[in-house]
Structure 1
Amino acid sequence: MAANKTVRVTFADCVMMFGNSYKPWEMQYDEYVWMCMRNDTPLQLVKVETSHSKWVSWGGLKWCPEDRFQYQLNREGCQDNEPDNPKPRQYSKMNFSQDERALRKARALLQSAS
């Protein structure tokens, strides 16, 4: 299995989060790109950043809009009928850095879907 990683992909009109879970982030990203292409949603890749913070493993999350990511962290480890995690990890405290290798992978996958 790939190392723990959370990947933040900035497109011209949105920011999406991906990570290594039951599939590596590249497979999740590729699936997202193909879904957007099927829906005629144009994607213009701006940058890719990575963090060594682990991805949300609870519930099989494939990807998430950045503005909903803290919500996912708040629910990490909780069943539907349970209250939010009382001490969730904080997205604002995750360190991200630009990752040229991940950017090349993301560009190649986007290009193959076009």
Structure 2
Amino acid sequence: MSEEIKYNTLGEFWPFYLREHSNRFNRFLHFVGTSIALAWILSSIVFLNAWYLLGALFSGYLFAWIGHFFVEKNRPATFTYPVKSFVSDWRMFFYTITGQLGKELQKAGVK
């Protein structure tokens, strides 16, 4: 019986997170979901409506979970590491829009 690896820090978790997102289409779905979530967050601020934050959560997780269940065919890290996964999704989004994701994927061993 194998033990599950525990990730105590975000630094330890990040390479695992990237390997769980090795499929380009899954990363695309995450990007779309996070972009829509960002639009909901900004709308929440502009219109002073906290209910829009539910739209952010729904859209972000909907696209991500479709990517995991139907594309990667793995279990979303959110279920085990909700905070680290949430932070890592935004980190992946930032690296995508700044053109640095390829370098991070390479360091994590993702081809």
- TM-score by shorter chain over 0.5: no
Provide the TM-score with structure 2 as the length reference: 0.28
Provide the TM-score with structure 1 as the length reference: 0.27
Q: Which is strand-richer, 1 or 2? A: 1
Q: Which is helix-richer, 1 or 2? A: 2
